[in-house]
Chain A
Amino acid sequence: MTPTSASVDHSRRRDLIEASLKRRHARERRFRRLGLGAVILGMGLVAILFASILMRGVPAFWQATFTLDVHFDPEVIRVEAKPERGPGESEADFRERHLAWQGQVGMVNWQQLLDRALMAELGEVEARQARDLRALIASGERFALRDRFIEDPDLLGQTRSLKLLASANVDVWLKGNIDRSLPDHQQQLSAQTRAWADALHDRGVITNAFSTALFLNPDSRSSLASAGLAGAFMGSLFMMLVVILLAVPLGVASAIYLEEFAPRNRLTDLIEININNLAAVPSIVFGLLGAAIFIGYLGLPLSAPLVGGLVLTLMTLPTIIIATRAALRSIPGSIRQAALGIGASRVQTVFHHVLPLALPGILTGSILGVAQALGETAPLLLIGMNAFVANVPGTPLEQSTALPVQIYLWQGNELRNFFEARTSAAIIVLLGLMLSLNALAIWLRKRFETRW
């Protein structure tokens, strides 16, 4: 082959290749754009999700709130003086007297104080309009007055400027979450109440103020405007405690056993497959397990955070085991050999040398597992945690719900116009908690990341 014929050959070939290059590069660009498009689409959808929830939820942190001068009128509050513990009086006797006094206070017509305070703003109102008047303030606020008085009986006879939540319907009306042009019979509030609400709003008696009710109150059905997340939050907190106390030690211990000590045989192979599989079992199946075993067989109480915590423990266990095993596996064998080489036993090697090095990874995995448990809803529905609970639970055995379940309950509330925003606000709280947990995990991983 002479050089000339070779170069002729080469240039013919080059032409052949060049002929298709344009098409190939176009296809390359198309593919690349497709990939970028997928990323943008995915991110965009998520952005829409976050944006729509933020847009709906953030306004719900601010609620229509009255600023009213409430006169603690002795004419209305006709009760004895708050009992003081006398000398020589037994604890039990005093408690009895105190309870009796609280009973008296409870009988007081607190609503009347609110009505009067409103009338002071609106002028006298006819008796037939009492219903319209009472639709203005959240019905739970009269109990807030009572509690305030029990706290401080010296209020008797005084006038205080108080912040009181407007009712949910007033909030909806003033925020424009209901179509103002709807005819009367489709409106939640009477024409009179709406007019009053607008007037008071114009005069600055009703303002849109940041409300702590969402955070501090338990759920409520009678006074929707003051329904809050405190009960659900405590329920979730108890469940997380159970998960942290059970799932994390159990998971870490079994991961240590499987990764460091267990002989490699059929049985451990089976355990391995079993754990990987458990991690992919639908969460609702764990709910069924909880319903059948914890509730049906062991007879544990329905709706208790303890049971929820147990179910979530079983559910998160595989996640924690897998993460811990990965963390242990990433510690190079040379560390183990070094420790064994100077005469440490296998247990000492693992607990003194391997485990401390794997700790960041284990923590990260555990936090992610707990975060996953925090957001889980479906299994909790099957063990009765979707019951309505109006109290903040004090122990893990009391009835309770959980944050995600509260979201589920609220989204189904009939007063859609109010609860769409309130549910979004609850989601913001839940996501905030979860994102901080995730951020903590990512930070831990970055902070302690070691490359071997």
Chain B
Amino acid sequence: MNMATKAAIETPTPLGAGNSRTSKASERIKMRARQVKVHYGDTEALHGIDLDIHENEVVAFIGPSGCGKSTFLRCLNRMNDTIPGCRVEGRVQLDESDIYDPSLDVVLLRAQVGIVFQKPNPFPKSIYENIAYGPRLHGLARRRSELDDIVEGSLRRAGLWEEVKDRLDQPGTGLSGGQQQRLCIARTIAVSPEVILMDEPCSALDPIATAKVEQLIDELSDSYTIVMVTHNMQQAARVADRTAFFHMGDLVEVDTTDQIFTNPSDQRTHDYITGRFG
């Protein structure tokens, strides 16, 4: 885009100006990515990403579709392993340990780094069993009462307890879309992971359900490190401490959310947040 047309467009109102959340992030680096490259077959989807994620902060990944933000997110708990033909290079560390080290147990990693998907995917089991599945898997509860406590606690944290406490034995697939997504979040926090990855968690939800999930994310950021991909810039502006902008498989820019939305240093970021492409 040449400068003449750019000048002709009105300067946009900064989106990040409304970000009122107070960061609970510490200085400690929870996850560290260095030169992460991802190949699908012969095509390179990510061209070498460097990013630090601090403990207890909320980081949002934004960018046009196909920019690699979801791919990068899935590298952080090795969900890419399940995709045939996908190859990851570079280094990703969780608390100083390399998660792509062959000696690392991916089961343990995923218990530490949980993930919530774009579309709510409750198991075809009861609500109780959906939440209890993870703790049971990892042997986190020794007694039934402990398990009950975990289920109740997780549902409460997900703000779902009041809505479902009378029908815990009913199938999770019978809930509404927003409830299902909060159920999936509850399912993830029942394992009490250290980091929660969220892959466009609200893209399949209506505005009211979205607001509830965003509120939930805000509350969870007290005790969890949250990395989320979003297609919705307002959402990033509302919930994230820091925002990273991806474009064509590159991490273009990462900074505090305010900085990204008010005063981006890269032209591409500027063009994207002002809606010139995406």
Q: Which residues of A contact B (CB under 8 A)?
A: 1, 3, 6, 9-10, 13-14, 16-21, 24-25
Contact, CB under 8 Å: B28 / A3: yes
Contact, CB under 8 Å: A14 / B107: no
Contact, CB under 8 Å: A21 / B105: yes
Q: Decide yes or no whether B229 CB sits under 8 A from chain A.
A: no
Contact, CB under 8 Å: B55 / A20: no
Q: Decide yes or no whether B92 CB sits under 8 A from chain A.
A: no
Q: Decide yes or no whether B194 CB sits under 8 A from chain A.
A: yes
Question: Which one of B26, B28, B192 lies within 8 Å of A13 (CB-CB)?
Answer: B192
Please give me the 5 A-B residue pairs with the lowest Cβ-Cβ distance, nearest first. Answer: A20-B139, A17-B138, A17-B111, A1-B223, A10-B194
Using A3-B55, A24-B107 as known contacts, say yes or no to A16 and B139 having CB atoms under 8 A apart: yes
Best-surrounded residue of B28, B56, B138 (most CB of chain A within 10 A): B138
Using A3-B28, A3-B55, A10-B194 as known contacts, say yes or no to A21 and B222 having CB atoms under 8 A apart: no
- Note all chain A residues with C-beta closer than 8 A to B194: 10
Q: Enumerate 7 A-B pairs (CB-CB under 8 Å) in ascending A order.
A: A1-B223, A3-B56, A14-B108, A14-B112, A16-B139, A21-B105, A21-B107
Q: How far is the CA of A172 from the CA of B223 in the complex (A)?
A: 85
- Note all chain A residues with C-beta closer than 8 A to B51: none
A24 nearest in chain B by CB position: B107
Q: How far is the CB of A405 from chain B (nearest CB, A)?
A: 47
Using A3-B28, A24-B107 as known contacts, say yes or no to A17 and B140 having CB atoms under 8 A apart: yes
Q: How far is the CB of B43 from chain A (nearest CB, A)?
A: 18
Using A3-B26, A6-B223 as known contacts, say yes or no to A18 and B140 having CB atoms under 8 A apart: no
Q: How far is the CA of A9 from the CA of B55 in the complex (A)?
A: 15
- Note all chain B residues with C-beta closer than 8 A to A24: 107
Q: How far is the CA of A343 from the CA of B85 in the complex (A)?
A: 45
Q: How far is the CB of B204 from chain A (nearest CB, A)?
A: 25
Q: How far is the CB of B142 from chain A (nearest CB, A)?
A: 9
| B21-61 interface with A by 8 A CB criterion | 26, 28, 55-56
Contact, CB under 8 Å: B26 / A16: no
- Note all chain B residues with C-beta closer than 8 A to A9: 192
Q: How far is the CA of A20 from the CA of B192 in the complex (A)?
A: 17
Contact, CB under 8 Å: B139 / A19: yes
- Note all chain A residues with C-beta closer than 8 A to B112: 10, 14
- Note all chain A residues with C-beta closer than 8 A to B138: 16-17, 20
Contact, CB under 8 Å: A17 / B139: yes
How many pairs of A and B residues are in contact by the CB < 8 Å rule? Answer: 35
Q: How far is the CA of A235 from the CA of B56 in the complex (A)?
A: 80
Q: How far is the CA of A261 from the CA of B187 in the complex (A)?
A: 48
Q: How far is the CA of A6 from the CA of B107 in the complex (A)?
A: 21
- Note all chain B residues with C-beta closer than 8 A to A20: 138-139
Q: A-facing mask of B56-75, CB < 8 A → 1, else 0?
A: 10000000000000000000
A20 nearest in chain B by CB position: B139
Using A13-B140, A13-B192, A16-B140 as known contacts, say yes or no to A1 and B222 having CB atoms under 8 A apart: yes
- Note all chain B residues with C-beta closer than 8 A to A6: 223
Q: How far is the CA of A25 from the CA of B108 in the complex (A)?
A: 11
Q: How far is the CA of A20 from the CA of B28 in the complex (A)?
A: 30
Contact, CB under 8 Å: A18 / B108: yes
A13 nearest in chain B by CB position: B192
Q: How far is the CA of A3 from the CA of B27 in the complex (A)?
A: 11
Q: How far is the CA of A135 from the CA of B55 in the complex (A)?
A: 96
Q: How far is the CA of A20 from the CA of B111 in the complex (A)?
A: 13
A22 nearest in chain B by CB position: B105
Q: How far is the CB of A9 from chain B (nearest CB, A)?
A: 8
Q: How far is the CA of A141 from the CA of B85 in the complex (A)?
A: 65
- Note all chain B residues with C-beta closer than 8 A to A13: 140, 192
Q: How far is the CB of B78 from chain A (nearest CB, A)?
A: 16
Q: How far is the CA of A9 from the CA of B112 in the complex (A)?
A: 12
Q: How far is the CA of A13 from the CA of B28 in the complex (A)?
A: 20
- Note all chain B residues with C-beta closer than 8 A to A25: 105, 107
- Note all chain A residues with C-beta closer than 8 A to B56: 3
Q: How far is the CB of A10 from chain B (nearest CB, A)?
A: 6
Best-surrounded residue of A9, A17, A19, A21 (most CB of chain B within 10 A): A17
- Note all chain A residues with C-beta closer than 8 A to B105: 18, 21, 25
Q: A-facing mask of B84-110, CB < 8 A → 1, else 0?
A: 000000000000000000000101100
Q: How far is the CA of A235 from the CA of B102 in the complex (A)?
A: 63
- Note all chain B residues with C-beta closer than 8 A to A16: 138-140
Contact, CB under 8 Å: B108 / A21: yes
- Note all chain A residues with C-beta closer than 8 A to B140: 13, 16-17
- Note all chain A residues with C-beta closer than 8 A to B223: 1, 6
Best-surrounded residue of A1, A16, A19, A25 (most CB of chain B within 10 A): A16
A23 nearest in chain B by CB position: B139
Q: How far is the CB of B101 from chain A (nearest CB, A)?
A: 15
Beyond A3-B55, A10-B112, A17-B111, 14 additional contacts (C-beta under 8 Å) are A1-B222, A3-B26, A3-B28, A6-B223, A10-B194, A13-B192, A14-B108, A16-B140, A17-B108, A17-B138, A17-B140, A18-B105, A21-B107, A24-B107
- Note all chain B residues with C-beta closer than 8 A to A3: 26, 28, 55-56
Q: A-facing mask of B190-227, CB < 8 A → 1, else 0?
A: 00101000000000000000000000000000110000
| B173-203 interface with A by 8 A CB criterion | 192, 194
A10 nearest in chain B by CB position: B194
Q: How far is the CB of B61 from chain A (nearest CB, A)?
A: 24
Q: How far is the CA of A9 from the CA of B222 in the complex (A)?
A: 15
Q: How far is the CB of B28 from chain A (nearest CB, A)?
A: 7
Q: How far is the CA of A20 from the CA of B139 in the complex (A)?
A: 7
Q: How far is the CB of B170 from chain A (nearest CB, A)?
A: 29
- Note all chain A residues with C-beta closer than 8 A to B107: 17, 21, 24-25
Q: How far is the CA of A301 from the CA of B222 in the complex (A)?
A: 87
- Note all chain B residues with C-beta closer than 8 A to A21: 105, 107-108
Q: How far is the CB of A17 from chain B (nearest CB, A)?
A: 5
Q: How far is the CB of B250 from chain A (nearest CB, A)?
A: 31
Q: How far is the CB of B107 from chain A (nearest CB, A)?
A: 6
Q: How far is the CA of A9 from the CA of B194 in the complex (A)?
A: 10
Q: How far is the CA of A9 from the CA of B111 in the complex (A)?
A: 14
Q: How far is the CA of A163 from the CA of B108 in the complex (A)?
A: 77
A2 nearest in chain B by CB position: B26
Q: How far is the CA of A14 from the CA of B112 in the complex (A)?
A: 8
A28 nearest in chain B by CB position: B107
Q: How far is the CB of B127 from chain A (nearest CB, A)?
A: 23
Q: How far is the CA of A9 from the CA of B224 in the complex (A)?
A: 13
